[in-house]
Amino acid sequence: MAAGCNQHGRGEETIQMFQQMQQEGIQPDRILFISVLQACSAVLGLNQGKVIHTNILDQGLELDNMVGSAIVEMYLKCGSFQFAQRIFAEMPRKSLVVWNIMIAGCAQHGVHSMVMDFFDDMLAENLSPDAATFVSLLSACSHTGNLEVGCWHFESMVTKYGIFPTLDHYMCMVDLLGRAGSMNDALDLLHTMPFTPCQVGWRSLLTHCRTWGEVSFARSCFDNLLLLDPDEPTCYALMSEVYANAGMWDKSLEIEEMRKAAALWKLPGEALIEVGEKVYSFTVGDKHESYYELSRKLKALGDRLRNIDHVPFAVERECSI
């Protein structure tokens, strides 16, 4: 059941199920612990993840590759990089999967120099990288603008390790070349790679066209994005901004009118917040079910503070909103 909830994106239910089992005195095993840790990773439930980690230690379970990797990944996904590092260092044996999780975590947290450090340490352990390893390496090279090292790793995948690049690797290279301002090379790679160019590649290149002020390249990317998905609002915003930055206000307005005519608006992002051991999700404009009651209590607190000659500016502003 726990694994099934995770597979269907219902991590909160996995955590609730685990809490119910604890209340009923049911002893979890390592498989359940792994499922709950994965759920905590999915919903960014750091506090609950720490509780699970403590339970694992209390039961004396070994930090093998499966349990250890789940703990490391949970801390990385929840933004606790130092905890992940510590658990990684404590693991007696590390498989390639664990190394890949740590290397990917460094890339995701923007600690790009450590991506290369962990990669070198992994090679020193006589482990050979796989396709997933190189996605993290190329991503790190892209974000640091290290074109030379990125190209070297891309080539060494095939020549040294016999790994043929996947679409993800090509997209990393397109991003790397675009970020470096090598638009022609990035475009050539999109057209010559053994995959059909996808939205990710065109959008990445369009984003970098905005940075480098490449209006003609940007329009080509925009047109290709429309062919793939005319209902994707982000590309309209990017193209409009490229024109605006170039002072081409009529063209910028034309793109905005196209977007409005198609009634395309960027979907609001979802945010997660953990309070106690429960994770809440919300989007822009959401209100808590007890919003009005909370507002009344907040206003009452503000009134009491004013009675003792303290004017709470933040409270006043919240109540007016």
In angstroms, the CA 87 to CA 34 distance is 15
pLDDT in 10s for each residue of the chain, 321 residues: 777 787 777 788 888 888 888 888 888 888 999 999 999 998 888 999 999 999 999 999 888 999 999 999 999 999 999 999 999 999 999 999 999 999 999 999 999 999 999 999 999 999 999 999 999 999 999 999 999 999 999 999 999 999 999 999 999 999 999 999 999 999 999 999 999 999 999 999 999 999 999 999 999 999 999 999 988 888 999 999 999 999 999 999 999 999 988 877 555 555 555 555 555 555 555 666 676 777 788 888 877 877 776 654 444 444 444
pLDDT at position 305, please?
77
DSSP 195: S
- Rounded to the nearest 5 percent, the helix, strand and coil shares of the chain are 70, 5, 25
DSSP 166: -
Look at residues 132, 129, 107, 102 and name the one whose alpha carbon lies nearest to residue 118: 102
DSSP string, 219-250: HHHHHHHHHH-TT-HHHHHHHHHHHHHTT-HH
In angstroms, the CA 142 to CA 139 distance is 5
DSSP string, 68-111: HHHHHHHHHHTT-HHHHHHHHHH-SS--HHHHHHHHHHHHHTT-
- The crossing angle, in degrees rounded to 10, of helices 131-144 and 167-179 is 10
Question: pTM value?
Answer: 0.78
